[in-house]
Amino acid sequence: MQKIGILNSDIAKVLADLGHTDTIVIGDCGLPVPAGVPKIDLALKPGTPSFLDVLTEVLKYMEVEKIHIASEMESKNPATWQKMQELFEGKEQILSDHEAFKAATKTAKAVIRTGEITPYANIILHAGVIF
């Protein structure tokens, strides 16, 4: 049995298979998953696990070059917006309206669904390289 790291085998495999510029999505429980994009469903009950808990854990193991978030997050979910600014200070940020954000999820390697129930708690992580 694995002793450390992400124990969810689906997430661990997606992260291990990522190449430069590949994307994964971490989303709230209401984010639609496009046809053909694998969904890794972690939602247990409203709020569990939280978006930030999942994101924080994934960031321990993924090299992120840039992020994509919906611009609506700033006004509709300011606490999460502030946390994104802290977590990704110095990283390129793509901001778009929520509809364009959802369209961008179509090319993701996977969507990780959390139990989050706050608005616009969604992010697309673009893989970087470690060299």
32 vs 5: CA distance, rounded Å: 28
Q: Is 90 exposed, middle or buried (0-12, 13-18, 19+ CB in 10 A)?
A: exposed
Q: Answer for the pair 128, 65: CB distance below 8 angstroms, yes or no.
A: yes
Q: Answer for the pair 95, 37: CB distance below 8 angstroms, yes or no.
A: no
Task: Confirm whether residue 98 is marked as ligand binding.
Answer: yes
Task: Confirm whether residue 122 is marked as ligand binding.
Answer: yes
20 is known as an active-site residue? yes
Task: Confirm whether residue 12 is marked as ligand binding.
Answer: no
Task: Confirm whether residue 35 is marked as ligand binding.
Answer: no
Single out the catalytic residue among 20, 32, 79, 107. 20
85 vs 6: CA distance, rounded Å: 24
105 vs 21: CA distance, rounded Å: 13
Cα 124 versus chain centre, distance:
5
Per the annotation, where are the binding residues for substrate? 28, 98, 120-122
Residue numbers annotated as active site: 20
Per the annotation, where are the binding residues? 28, 98, 120-122
